[in-house]
Amino acid sequence: MERIKTDLLVIGAGSGGLSVAAGAAQMGADVVLLEGHRMGGDCLNYGCVPSKALIAAARAAHGQASSARFGVANVVPQVDYAAAMEHVADVVGQIEPMDSQARFEGLGVRVIREYGRFVSPREVQAGDHVIRARRVVIATGSSPLVPPIPGLADVPYLTNETLFDLRARPDHLLIIGGGPIGMEMAQAHVRLGSKVTVIEGDRALNRDDPELAAVVCDSLRGEGVEIAEGALVERVSGTAGAIEVTAQDGRVFAGSHLLVAVGRKANTERLNLPAAGIETTRTGIKVDAGLRTSNRRVYAIGDVAGGLQFTHVAGYHAGVIIRSALFGLPSKAGEAHIPRVTYSDPELAQVGLSEAAAREIHGDRLEVVRFDYAHNDRAIAGRKAVGFVKVMVVRGRPVGASIVGDQAGELIGLWSLALANGLKMGQIAAMVAPYPTIGELNKRVAGAYFSPRLFDSQMVKRVVGAVQRWLP
């Protein structure tokens, strides 16, 4: 058994763990990184990267099938599903070297390809190694949640960890779960030629503003996706190629393949957390504002910390704890400026408070301003004029933004910047955006906040009249 002493031990080589390891090593810390599975974690291998690559393939097929509006004849796309999935694998392969063991060893990180488990409050065992570290970072991420639905264990089903292994296109894909993953994969597969049914026990995209979610759902239904809402699953039955999902209200959905996309659970099972005195919650590891666990030497970041489950959150958490673990400086993580995006077509993006949440908190002080894509010249030119930007404003400062439409995920970044730095709407309105761009929407919605103050104000009109009479 090899005993190792180090400054920083990172458990998990997903996006958060890799960010911590790279940053700490390059700043001079002695770092050990543990990973018992694949370098790059869920995002690279099963999540963000492969899903967006498949969405890109689906968008190419959809473009061929819907080009008549540009004066180019529609054609039926000849989809080679296996080749589309090979495209996905190629994209993952191109990004993989950035997350590889060789790269991190080149940065000075000692990489041990074993799972880690606590054997004491300060020691972690990984295979034949026992590591004692000044600080430990748990970055083990999350895995697909598979609910205890009667019959599910006896039926072949997919999760995001197995979906991208397919090479034969599903004839009819059933998806349990109408959240972002379910809706993204539904649209991708219907565009690639599958029949698709989404089965959701509540409302599809139920964590998002209903007004924005309705735009996305209408788009998917228009492309042929069946979205069954209020369909709580009672049981699953059948065999490969002939699967049935029965809802509590008696509805029965039949298909060839089943994708389970009902959420994710924190990866804590292997860690032996009680040995380290680390407390957990229903959603993951309990952390304070600085991402410290109940063991003051141990931090938890990303999905396993039980908060927002996004790759960019894990990366943000990495920066927060590097300040604390390496420099001993106070550092806290916030959520108010963290954006989230559903990569459907149209995209749906949110940062800060939704309209409903802002009304509950701020009441009559809240102003909601909006600007429609239908008034953006670039959106009109590209036949992408469906959608709108909605910003929640209190005393001249944005407290949240919701966007549904083309490139919503790109637009939301400006509002994250505004919330992170306390910017005012006047500072957004002062921005000069090139014409014609989708980015003009952000400036125009800020302008919409000031329009009634300028153009509907009798005081402004009186002042302008007086100045005009005075000027030579």
Q: Domain holding 205: CATH number?
A: 3.50.50.60
Q: Residues comprising the binding site for NAD(+)?
A: 177-184, 200, 263
How confident is the model over 309-327, as a mean pLDDT? 92
* DSSP code, position 285: B
| Two tokens, residue 381 | 């030119």
* Euclidean distance between CA atoms 44 and 394, whole angstroms: 39
Q: Please answer whether residues 50 and 88 qualify as being in contact, where contact means their C-beta atoms are separated by less than 8 angstroms.
A: yes
Q: What is the structure's pLDDT at 34?
A: 98
Is residue 231, in this structure, part of any structural domain at all?
yes
* Euclidean distance between CA atoms 117 and 399, whole angstroms: 41
Q: Please answer whether residues 309 and 316 qualify as being in contact, where contact means their C-beta atoms are separated by less than 8 angstroms.
A: no
Q: Please answer whether residues 384 and 70 qualify as being in contact, where contact means their C-beta atoms are separated by less than 8 angstroms.
A: no
Q: What is the structure's pLDDT at 459?
A: 73
| Two tokens, residue 171 | 């004839």
Q: Which of 240, 263, 286 is the last residue of a domain?
A: 263
Q: What is the structure's pLDDT at 454?
A: 61
Q: Please answer whether residues 436 and 385 qualify as being in contact, where contact means their C-beta atoms are separated by less than 8 angstroms.
A: no
Q: Residues comprising the binding site for FAD?
A: 52, 116, 140-142, 303
* Euclidean distance between CA atoms 145 and 160, whole angstroms: 10
Is residue 95, in this structure, part of any structural domain at all?
no
Q: Is the pLDDT of residue 22 over 90?
A: yes
Is residue 446, in this structure, part of any structural domain at all?
yes
Is residue 78, in this structure, part of any structural domain at all?
no
Q: Which of 327, 356, 371 is the last residue of a domain?
A: 327
Q: What is the structure's pLDDT at 399?
A: 98
Q: What is the structure's pLDDT at 460?
A: 64
CATH code assigned at 446:
3.30.390.30
Residues 171 and 244 in one domain: yes
Q: Is the pLDDT of residue 469 over 90?
A: no
Q: Which of 248, 263, 278 is the last residue of a domain?
A: 263
Residues 275 and 364 in one domain: no
Q: What is the structure's pLDDT at 214?
A: 98
Residues 211 and 196 in one domain: yes
Q: What is the structure's pLDDT at 471?
A: 80
Q: Please answer whether residues 131 and 124 qualify as being in contact, where contact means their C-beta atoms are separated by less than 8 angstroms.
A: yes
Give tens-digit pLDDT for 231-268. Answer: 999 999 999 999 999 999 999 999 999 999 999 999 99
Q: Please answer whether residues 229 and 241 qualify as being in contact, where contact means their C-beta atoms are separated by less than 8 angstroms.
A: no
Q: How many alpha carbons fall within 13 Å on the CB side of residue 293?
A: 26
Q: What is the structure's pLDDT at 328?
A: 87
Q: Please answer whether residues 375 and 241 qualify as being in contact, where contact means their C-beta atoms are separated by less than 8 angstroms.
A: no
Residues 449 and 369 in one domain: yes
* Euclidean distance between CA atoms 472 and 467, whole angstroms: 10
Expressed as residue numbers, the domain containing 380 is 340-455
| Two tokens, residue 439 | 């980015």
Q: Is the pLDDT of residue 463 over 80?
A: no
| Two tokens, residue 241 | 């190629």
Q: What is the structure's pLDDT at 456?
A: 63
Is residue 387, in this structure, part of any structural domain at all?
yes
Q: Please answer whether residues 448 and 371 qualify as being in contact, where contact means their C-beta atoms are separated by less than 8 angstroms.
A: yes
Residues 163 and 231 in one domain: yes
Residues 255 and 360 in one domain: no
Residues 130 and 215 in one domain: no
Is residue 283, in this structure, part of any structural domain at all?
yes
Q: Please answer whether residues 6 and 135 qualify as being in contact, where contact means their C-beta atoms are separated by less than 8 angstroms.
A: no
User: Domain total for the chain?
Assistant: 3
Buried b vs exposed e over 423-448: b needs ≥16 C-beta within 10 Å? bbbeebbeeeeeeeebbbbbbbbbbb
Q: Is the pLDDT of residue 464 over 90?
A: no
> Mean of the per-residue pLDDT values for the chain?
95
Q: What is the structure's pLDDT at 86?
A: 98
Residues 158 and 189 in one domain: yes
Give tens-digit pLDDT for 274-283. Answer: 999 999 999 9
Residues 344 and 445 in one domain: yes
How confident is the model over 189-209, as a mean pLDDT? 97
Split at pLDDT 50, 70, 90, the class of 455 is low
Instruction: Note the pTM of the prediction, 2 decimals.
Output: 0.94
State which amino acid sits at residue 111: V
Q: 229: how many CB neighbours lie within 10 A of its CB?
A: 14
Is residue 415, in this structure, part of any structural domain at all?
yes
Is residue 30, in this structure, part of any structural domain at all?
yes
Residues 376 and 410 in one domain: yes
How confident is the model over 325-351, as a mean pLDDT? 94
Residues 20 and 134 in one domain: yes
Residues 23 and 135 in one domain: yes
How confident is the model over 306-322, as a mean pLDDT? 92
Q: What is the structure's pLDDT at 467?
A: 77
Q: Please answer whether residues 31 and 24 qualify as being in contact, where contact means their C-beta atoms are separated by less than 8 angstroms.
A: yes
* Euclidean distance between CA atoms 165 and 472, whole angstroms: 76
Q: Is the pLDDT of residue 151 over 80?
A: yes
Q: Is the pLDDT of residue 457 over 70?
A: no
Q: What is the structure's pLDDT at 308?
A: 87
What are the φ and ψ backbone dihedral angles of 137, each rounded to 5 degrees? -120, 120
Give tens-digit pLDDT for 92-150. Answer: 999 999 999 999 999 999 999 999 999 999 999 999 999 999 999 999 999 999 999 99
How confident is the model over 221-234, as a mean pLDDT? 98
- Counting residues of the chain whose pLDDT is more than 90, the rounded percentage is 93
Q: Residues comprising the binding site?
A: 52, 116, 140-142, 177-184, 200, 263, 303
